[in-house]
Chains A and B, each alone.
Chain A
């Protein structure tokens, strides 16, 4: 199983049904994106989980730093007015 050490990691996104978003499901090793798609197909859609696959090289993802969570996300905690919860919604309006 040593050869996978040479292969980059790809993150896998599956869309379960038309109209839904692609959702991150895991990762595979592969020599390139084409092979990553095939591996993803074999690992993550064998039980009819999806209708579409995206693969993204893990190294191409820029992630936020967990150490910065306080400055990034905490300031939103006391700003409830950003949620549209101050309107009276008529009962007759459905699917809002």
Chain B
């Protein structure tokens, strides 16, 4: 478990902001691996545009987290100089891309969750989070248009494309769970009107997902018992390798800049 959580002293808004930032950064890092490998050059651009949006969101969130923490850490310090056990991203963001269909399924699920979250955050009692969310919502709406459009094409496409996205949906579904189980951070912030209540989020997520799955001819998977909690720094084995690659340049050349 992360030192910062175990200590129990960190401010809930700081931890929550860090979770949002880490999720955006780690997902952006995964998506960036498609550059040069997407099924078409047009999709290369589409996916890298989404990754860039996510990095922009992460930068704003890290900047705010740094102010809340008050320890003088910059966005680069958070991105490049923390260990696996310090990252608080949702586990799904760190999972390997799989094939294009699996990337699309992951993206669609996360886009719906993030859109519902940021739409509510835009009305947060925390003015900074509200401002960051208001900007991000416009971007995430497009991300969902892209990912849900592809999910419908693949799910309602050929037998092979349907088989692949259906399998990916089943594989990814267990990782949805942590989004809708509030811990002490989210409970405290929901009470203060800073962050949305997760029960509310879950209902909104299901309501937005159902028609997309229906159009894509996909069935909502059954819930499973196994649990992941990347937001509490309990990660899969995949995050360490992702960070090793992402942080290698900064660790080899500290303070390197363009």
Contact of A42 among B39, B49, B149, B153 (CB under 8 A): B49
User: Which residues of chain A are near B142, meaning CB under 8 Å?
Assistant: 41
Q: CB-CB contacts of A1-35 with B at 8 A, as 1s and 0s?
A: 10110010000000000000000000011110011
Are B42 and A29 touching (Cβ within 8 A)?
yes
Query: Could you tell me the dominant secondary structure of chain B's interface residues?
Result: helix
Are B40 and A42 touching (Cβ within 8 A)?
no
Query: Could you tell me the dominant secondary structure of chain A's interface residues?
Result: helix
Are B153 and A39 touching (Cβ within 8 A)?
no
Name the residue on A nearest B100 (C-beta).
A3
User: Which residues of chain A are near B49, meaning CB under 8 Å?
Assistant: 42, 46
Are A31 and B45 touching (Cβ within 8 A)?
no
Q: CB-CB contacts of B26-58 with A at 8 A, as 1s and 0s?
A: 000000000000011110011001000000000
Are A38 and B145 touching (Cβ within 8 A)?
yes
Contact of B42 among A30, A34, A46 (CB under 8 A): A30
Name the residue on A nearest B46 (C-beta).
A42
B130 CB to closest chain A CB, in angstroms?
A: 24
User: Which residues of chain B are near A1, meaning CB under 8 Å?
Assistant: 39-41
Query: Given the complex of chains A and B, what is the CA–CA distance between A22 and B77 in angstroms?
Result: 45
Query: Given the complex of chains A and B, what is the CA–CA distance between A38 and B153 in angstroms?
Result: 14
Are B40 and A43 touching (Cβ within 8 A)?
no
User: Which residues of chain B are near A42, meaning CB under 8 Å?
Assistant: 42, 45-46, 49
B136 CB to closest chain A CB, in angstroms?
A: 17
Name the residue on A nearest B47 (C-beta).
A42
A1 CB to closest chain B CB, in angstroms?
A: 6
Q: A42-B46, A46-B49 are in contact. Are A3 and B146 (CB under 8 A)?
A: no
Are B46 and A31 touching (Cβ within 8 A)?
no
User: Which residues of chain A are near B146, meaning CB under 8 Å?
Assistant: 38
User: Which residues of chain A are near B41, meaning CB under 8 Å?
Assistant: 1, 4
User: A residues touching B (Cβ–Cβ < 8 Å)?
Assistant: 1, 3-4, 7, 28-31, 34-35, 38-39, 41-43, 46
Known A-B contacts: A3-B40, A28-B42. Give 7 more (CB < 8 A). Answer: A35-B153, A38-B46, A42-B42, A42-B45, A43-B42, A43-B45, A46-B45
